[in-house]
Amino acid sequence: MPADVGILGPGTVTWQLHADPAMWVAGISSLYLQALHPRAVAGVVQNSNFREDPLGRLVRTANFVGTVSYGTTDEVREAAARVRMVHRALRGEDEHGRRFRIDDPELLLWVHCAEVHSFVTVVRRAGYRLTDAQVDRYYDEQRRTAELVGLHADEVPGSARAMADYFTATLPELKRTADSEVVYRFLHRPPVAGLLRLGLDAYEPLLGHLAYSVLPPWATALHGHRPYPEPVATTMLRAARAAALLVPPPIRWGVPDGHVNRAVRRLGLGAVPRRSLLP
């Protein structure tokens, strides 16, 4: 029997892009962006224990993305089913006291778009070379992941132009709120304990504020906090990626849960993520 490549496989842009170390900055940046939607961020603040378990949400999100990108078809379906089950049970309350479902398609679409837009734009800005056609292909591939959380593929932006149009249409709904400030402060200085606390003074400027500074200019304007100047942020981002690339890939890919390494063991060395496999 041929090995199971999952829902995407080595022949996709996603397979190559999501193995890049700049994805860590992109992932944190996506959380800043998601926080600008008042109902989406209210749902997180009201239902998540991220302040008691500061690394938990980051790791869970990274593991879901890793599973969807590199897992077997069954692993992907199981992970997606768990996410849908959790979302189905949760409710939030907006600023006017109205209750809403966490799995409201409008909110699911916002989270999806904020996430994948951050992934491709931040990693590309970090120095990962993609053509415009490959960016469009990436957005089209990510329609498959949107379906996993309950969206319809034909309602999800499948190109850079469609994604830009989506953000233009959604912009009037976005704003800075007390909840977005909670997320901003948390991502800058998460309340970690023990030895991790010793690294906060380095984390905040080198990762926390860097991830904020690579948001689109309209997003930092809405948040209302001053980012690093654009050339400084780009230089820092590329330097961080260059340093991370010095770490041997199997070690880099072992964090947080070794999704890429398991995929390579399952499919063989021909599936090792690399630019030459880009479609």
pLDDT in tens, 102-132: 999 999 999 999 999 999 999 999 999 999 9
Return all residues near 194 (Cβ < 8 A) that are at least 6 apart. Answer: none
Site of tokens 């994604």? 163
Burial class, 268, CB count within 10 angstroms (exposed 0-12 / middle 13-18 / buried 19+): exposed
Q: What is the mean pLDDT of residues 61-89?
A: 96
Q: Is the pLDDT of residue 1 over 80?
A: no
Element of type H or E holding 198: none
Angle at 94 between CA 117 and CA 63, to 5 degrees: 40
Are 4 and 265 spatial neighbours (Cβ–Cβ below 8 Å)?
no
At 166, give phi and psi (nearest 5°): -60, -45
Query: Per-residue pLDDT tens for 172-230?
Result: 999 999 999 999 999 999 988 787 888 999 999 999 999 999 999 999 999 999 999 99
> What letter would DSSP give residue 95?
T
Q: How far is CA 110 from the centre of its chain?
A: 12
Instruction: Name the pTM for this structure.
Output: 0.95
Q: Is the pLDDT of residue 60 over 90?
A: no
Query: Per-residue pLDDT tens for 165-185?
Result: 999 999 999 999 999 999 999
Measured CA to CA, the distance from residue 142 to residue 138 in angstroms comes to 6
Q: Is the pLDDT of residue 264 over 80?
A: yes
> What letter would DSSP give residue 100?
E
> What letter would DSSP give residue 42?
H
Query: Per-residue pLDDT tens for 2-48?
Result: 789 999 999 999 999 999 999 999 999 999 999 999 999 999 999 98
Dihedral over Cα of 278, 121, 138, 249: its sign:
positive
